[in-house]
Structures are given as structure tokens and as C-alpha cells.
């Protein structure tokens, strides 16, 4: 039996949960599909991530509008991936904000990523014809950027904790409320996609996120995590996936094996703990290929295209 490509056979809709994390702080999670969030300022909203299409983004905005009708002043994108970025036009935001390295990725590989993600995860692309094109920023930051929320709401901080899931991942941090939106740098019981990652640097990036001492964490996928211990556990699980993957692939690489052996080793290592989590089988071939390339000295991830996706899938996951 051939394995269905990536998440192409995952067509059943997920149920969505809008959670109020604190006064004026919202997260929408959906059983392992990409999460989104919003933070109220005195007279404006900051939204975090945009979903795959404007039609899908409007479903989230409809739910949010039951709580607040403030206009979206800032739409922040955690990173450049299509399922986070291409719904941006629905927000009618005054500013679209991203890390400067994410702008570089949009320029360099945004088109290819759009085609790749559409083929990998078609269910997430509700009314794909509603996408007007790539999402370009009106504002880029390097280091950190603070937004004053007004009244007694304190500041919202956007930061870049180092390279990880991509080279331009932004997190959103509410220091007064200790709430962290981490994008795909941390997952909560969902497999990691590392096809655009810098695996070894990601470990240091996770340490930087831990230093924030968050009490509430919204990861890229999976449920909201409440409480310091559970936040630490989610970061530890994310680190465990990275260490298991890199350890298994590196040992085969060092022993002079081939990438298929590395995939089998990584699967053996990770499957018992992570195999039931969303997108595990989908992600693993792309993850192994990227880390294999890294071990071969390829600094920046090769660009994923639908053609390359299929080649790697056939090589590693669907050997007939």
C-alpha cells in the first residue's frame, strides 16, 4: 500500500477552540492545525499569524469578533510558511510585521513554498482562489520590537530568539502576563516540521525561550499550555524530538550509511514517543532530508518545491 503523500489524505475537518488566555488575549487552536492568536490594545488589535487563505482567516476573525470589534493595527507573522502567511489580506491590517530574515525567505522561496504547502496540506487551503498573492511586510524588525498596548495593558514584545524552525522565526511575548506565542519554534504534542530548520541552533533558541519563564504558551500547533511546569514540559518535548532526530540521523551519517538508513533510524527512535502526534509521518522525510543536508555542510535549507517534495517522499517514505 503506498502511503498517501504528506497530509494529502487528511481531509476531515478539525474542531476549533477559541480560548481567552487573559483579559484581551486570545488563542484559536484546532487539534494540531496551525494556531493563531490576538492581543487587544486600548483601541486596536495585534493578530499573530494569518492562516493559509483569506477565507480561512475570516473564520478566525468571525470568532474573534464575538469578543472585540477593534480594528487590526498589526498583523504579525511568526514566519514565512504559506499556512501562516497567505490569509493576511483578510485582516485589513495597517501594518504587516515580520522579522527581517522572514522577508528574505518570502523573496527567495515564497512562491515555491506556496506550491509545496498547497500540495502537502490541501485541507488547510480553504478557497485557495481567495489568496491575492504572497504576503509582503510593511514593517520589519531585527532584534526585538515593542508595541505599547495603551491604558494599563503594558507592552507587547516581538522577538527573534535565534534560528530554529526557519531562520526568521518571531515570537510574541506579553511580559506582564507571561504569555508566549512561540510559532512553530515550540509544538504542543504535534510533530516538528524541520525542512527549513537549523537543527543545532534551534536547541539554543529553545534555551532563549525558556529564559522568558512563560506561564502560558501557545505553540505553533496543539493545545494551549498552562502553567510553568507544563510550559517547560512542552519545550522539553520539542527538544526531545530534535535530539532524537539529530542523534539518529547523525549516527548513520557518521557510520557512512545512506539517507534511507537514517530515515529508518529516526523513525525507530521517534515513533514510540511522537508517532501518534499530528503530521508525524508527513514531516519525517522532509526533516531527515534537511538534517542530512546540514550534516553534508549545506548551511541554508534547499528550497522545497512540489517536485522535490515528491522525490524525497518517494525516496524515504513510500518505497513501494
Residue from 40, 101, 184, 287 that binds Zn ion (CB under 5 A)?
184
Nearer to Zn ion, 166 or 246 (CB): 166
Smallest gap from residue 96 Cβ to Zn ion (A): 17
Smallest gap from residue 206 Cβ to Zn ion (A): 15
Stretch that binds Zn ion, among 95-103, 176-184, 281-289, 309-317 (CB under 5 A): 176-184
**Contacts of the segment 56-59: beta carbons below 8 A, 24+ positions apart:** 56/87, 56/124, 56/125, 56/126, 56/127, 57/87, 57/88, 57/90, 57/91, 58/90, 59/16, 59/126
Smallest gap from residue 220 Cβ to Zn ion (A): 6
Smallest gap from residue 183 Cβ to Zn ion (A): 7
Nearer to Zn ion, 40 or 187 (CB): 187
Stretch that binds Zn ion, among 81-89, 129-137, 259-267, 274-282 (CB under 5 A): 81-89
- Applying CB under 5 A, the site for Zn ion has a residue count of 2
H or E element, residue 121: none
What distance in Å separates the CA atoms of residue 293 and residue 289, rounded to the nearest whole number? 6
Nearer to Zn ion, 41 or 159 (CB): 159
Smallest gap from residue 171 Cβ to Zn ion (A): 13
What distance in Å separates the CA atoms of residue 283 and residue 95, rounded to the nearest whole number? 32
User: Residue 297: what are its φ and ψ, rounded to 5°?
Assistant: 90, 15
What beta strand segments (E) does the chain contain?
17-22, 25-30, 33-40, 45-48, 72-76, 95-99, 139-141, 144-148, 155-159, 171-174, 179-183, 216-219, 225-226
What distance in Å separates the CA atoms of residue 136 and residue 93, rounded to the nearest whole number? 12
Smallest gap from residue 126 Cβ to Zn ion (A): 18
State CA 289 to chain mean position distance: 19
Smallest gap from residue 79 Cβ to Zn ion (A): 6
Nearer to Zn ion, 40 or 49 (CB): 49
Nearer to Zn ion, 159 or 195 (CB): 195
Smallest gap from residue 165 Cβ to Zn ion (A): 6
Residue from 81, 120, 221, 282 that binds Zn ion (CB under 5 A)?
81
> Quick one: 146 exposed, middle or buried, by C-beta within 10 A (0-12, 13-18, 19+)?
middle
Nearer to Zn ion, 146 or 305 (CB): 305
Stretch that binds Zn ion, among 80-88, 210-218, 257-265, 302-310 (CB under 5 A): 80-88
Q: Which positions from 135 to 174 touch Zn ion by CB under 5 A, shown as an x/- string?
A: ----------------------------------------
Nearer to Zn ion, 153 or 167 (CB): 167
- Give Cα separations from 32 to 184, 268, 287 (angstroms): 12, 23, 18
Which set of grid coordinates corresponds to residue 229?
511546569
Residues in the chain: 320
Residue with cell 541552533: 201
Contact set with Zn ion (CB under 5 A)? 81, 184
Amino acid at each position: 500500500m503506498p502511503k498517501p503523500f504528506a497530509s494529502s489524505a487528511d481531509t476531515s475537518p478539525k474542531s476549533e477552540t477559541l480560548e481567552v488566555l487573559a483579559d484581551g488575549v486570545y488563542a484559536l487552536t484546532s487539534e494540531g492545525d496551525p494556531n493563531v492568536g490576538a492581543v487587544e490594545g486600548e483601541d486596536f488589535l495585534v493578530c499573530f499569524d494569518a492562516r493559509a487563505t483569506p477565507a480561512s482567516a475570516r473564520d478566525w476573525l468571525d470568532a474573534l469578533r464575538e469578543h472585540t470589534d477593534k480594528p487590526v493595527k498589526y498583523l504579525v507573522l511568526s514566519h514565512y510558511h504559506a499556512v501562516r502567511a497567505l490569509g493576511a489580506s483578510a485582516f485589513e491590517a495597517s501594518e504587516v510585521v515580520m522579522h527581517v530574515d522572514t522577508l528574505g525567505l518570502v523573496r527567495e522561496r515564497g512562491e515555491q513554498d506556496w506550491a509545496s504547502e498547497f500540495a502537502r496540506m490541501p485541507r488547510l487551503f480553504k478557497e485557495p482562489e481567495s489568496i491575492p498573492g504572497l504576503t509582503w511586510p510593511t514593517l520589519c524588525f531585527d532584534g526585538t520590537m515593542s508595541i505599547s498596548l495603551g491604558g494599563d495593558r503594558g507592552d507587547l514584545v516581538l522577538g527573534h530568539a535565534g534560528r530554529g524552525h526557519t531562520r526568521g522565526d518571531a515570537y510574541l511575548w506579553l511580559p506582564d502576563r507571561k504569555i508566549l506565542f512561540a510559532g512553530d519554534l515550540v509544538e504542543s504534542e504535534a510533530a516538528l516540521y524541520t525542512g527549513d530548520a537549523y537543527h543545532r541552533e534551534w536547541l539554543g533558541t529553545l534555551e532563549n525561550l525558556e529564559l522568558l519563564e512563560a506561564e502560558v504558551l501557545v505553540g505553533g500547533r496543539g493545545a494551549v499550555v498552562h502553567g510553568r511546569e507544563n510550559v517547560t514540559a512542552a519545550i522539553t518535548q520539542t527538544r526531545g524530538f530534535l535530539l532524537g532526530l539529530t542523534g539518529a540521523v547523525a549516527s548513520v551519517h557518521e557510520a557512512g550509511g545512506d539517507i534511507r538508513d537514517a530515515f529508518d533510524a529516526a523513525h525507530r527512535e521517534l515513533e514510540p514517543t511522537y508517532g501518534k502526534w499530528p503530521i508525524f509521518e508527513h514531516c519525517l522525510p522532509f526533516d531527515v532530508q534537511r538534517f542530512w543536508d546540514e550534516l553534508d555542510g549545506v548551511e541554508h535549507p534547499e528550497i522545497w518545491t512540489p517536485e522535490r517534495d515528491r522525490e524525497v517522499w518517494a525516496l524515504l517514505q513510500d518505497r513501494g
